[in-house]
Amino acid sequence: MHEIESLEELFQVLAKGRGLSGFAVQGLDLRQAEELLRAAEVKDAYFLGCLMSQNLEHDMERRGACVFPALNGFAFKPFRPNLYTAAELYDKFDFEDPHTYDDCLDAVIMQQWRRLGGASPRGLINSLAQRLHDHSIANAMEEFLAQMSRTRRGVVAVMGGHDMKRGAQEYAGVALLAWHLSRLGYLMVSGGGPGAMEATHLGAWFAAREVEELEEAISYLSEAPVYTDPLWLSLAHKVMNDYAPPEGDLHYSLGVPTWLYGHEPPTPFATHIAKYFANSLREDGLVTIATGGIIYAPGSAGTIQEIFQDLTQNHYLTTGMASPMIFFGREYWSRVKPVYPFIKQLSAGKLYDKVLALCDEVDEVVDYIVNHPPIIAPRHH
């Protein structure tokens, strides 16, 4: 099944005269293409949440098309053809007035989500719309990763606490390792929120710039050290304006946040944002795509949950490989939150025992990722 996700693509396909059989057209306004669609072969074509006249809908169904009508009344698009961007989620944000966040798409969706029951949506149509949205996001993320795989060495994730302060040593360390790994050709991903997650995308944002500029930005951002500070988002947008990335995709990164943690705004430094309603889908998907390895910065319950989700995949080789697990902070992961010794015990005799590391230095982490690619599981698994 071929997907069409822009009017430009649609017009190109129709211009070839082959019709749309075997195509899925997703989330497009088809009103300016109505005349062409009436003349095109549409048998066994799918139209998902597209805007069209009732006459065109009936005409195409009569000729063998399958039309999934748009679900109206939602602040979000249940059938999304692409990932979010910070510009879209923060569409009405003015960094000189932090209160304008309340008018942004991200906040409007969150407010509606809460009104409709939050994590337990009331009503079949509400839950259906959210599931369709998350399915569309997963599909768009797959397409983005497939595109990036042509030029990137792998996907590396960073997990860590949302309350990690800007300017803290740990924050600077995460930003620096993301800067190094992005420059080496890895695509950086995270949960897309504040703290260690933001540091990941900040480092990637500066990948085409000198490290001194990254350090300047961290110093400036530290004036609003945590996401509850009224200027947290304003300073981020100011840095993005002052340090706009050069042309190219070296600075690309993928954030995977959720509206479940509505109090955590998504970091605008992520160039591509796969935001979900269902946190379970988001968490599992995040650890699954990071086949190049996951770096665990200091964090609490959420980070530890992700550690064990990743551990389970590695333990049972459900993805067909054992991916590196790097614990960034020797004292933290061996004594403060002594997860690493337990995981080493669990890994005895398992394939992933060969890709576990406990590191203190940025260079150690970067070298380990570069020199320890994922291990493909033997066929009998």
Domain range summary for the chain, segments of one domain joined by +:
2-68, 152-376
- In the chain, the percentage of residues whose pLDDT exceeds 90 is 94
Percent of the chain with pLDDT over 70: 99
Q: How far apart are alpha carbons 314 and 306 in whole angstroms?
A: 12
| Distance in angstroms (rounded) separating the CA atoms of residues 132 and 113 | 14
Query: Is a pLDDT exceeding 90 seen at residue 263?
Result: no
Query: pLDDT class for 334, splitting at 50, 70, 90?
Result: very high
Adjacency order of strands within the sheet including 2-4: 2-4, 23-26, 46-48, 66-68
pLDDT (tens digit per residue) in 344-369 = 999 999 999 999 999 999 999 999 99
Give yes or no for residue 381 having a pLDDT over 70: no
- Tens of pLDDT, residue by residue over 147-186, are 999 999 999 999 999 999 999 999 999 999 999 999 999 9
- Mean pLDDT computed over 283-309: 95
Query: What does the alpha-carbon distance between residue 360 and residue 246 come to, in Å, rounded to a whole number?
Result: 32
- 34-69: string of b/e by CB count within 10 Å (b at 16+)? eeebeebebeebbbbbbebeeebbebbeeeebebee
What's residue 17's pLDDT? 86
- Quickly state the pLDDT bin for 1 (edges 50, 70, 90): confident
Average pLDDT (95-117) is 95
* Average confidence (pLDDT) over 36-48: 95
Short-list 226, 362, 376, 249, CA closest to 295 = 362
pLDDT in the model for residue 380: 60
Report the pLDDT averaged over residues 5-33: 93
Architecture of domain 152-376: 3-Layer(aba) Sandwich (3.40)
pLDDT of residue 264: 86
Give 72-85 pLDDT, tens digit per residue. 999 999 999 999 99
Residue 307 has pLDDT above 60, yes or no: yes
**Mean pLDDT over residues 308-312, rounded?**
95
Give the pLDDT band (50/70/90) at residue 254. Answer: very high
375: exposed, middle or buried (C-beta count within 10 Å: 0-12, 13-18, 19+)?
middle
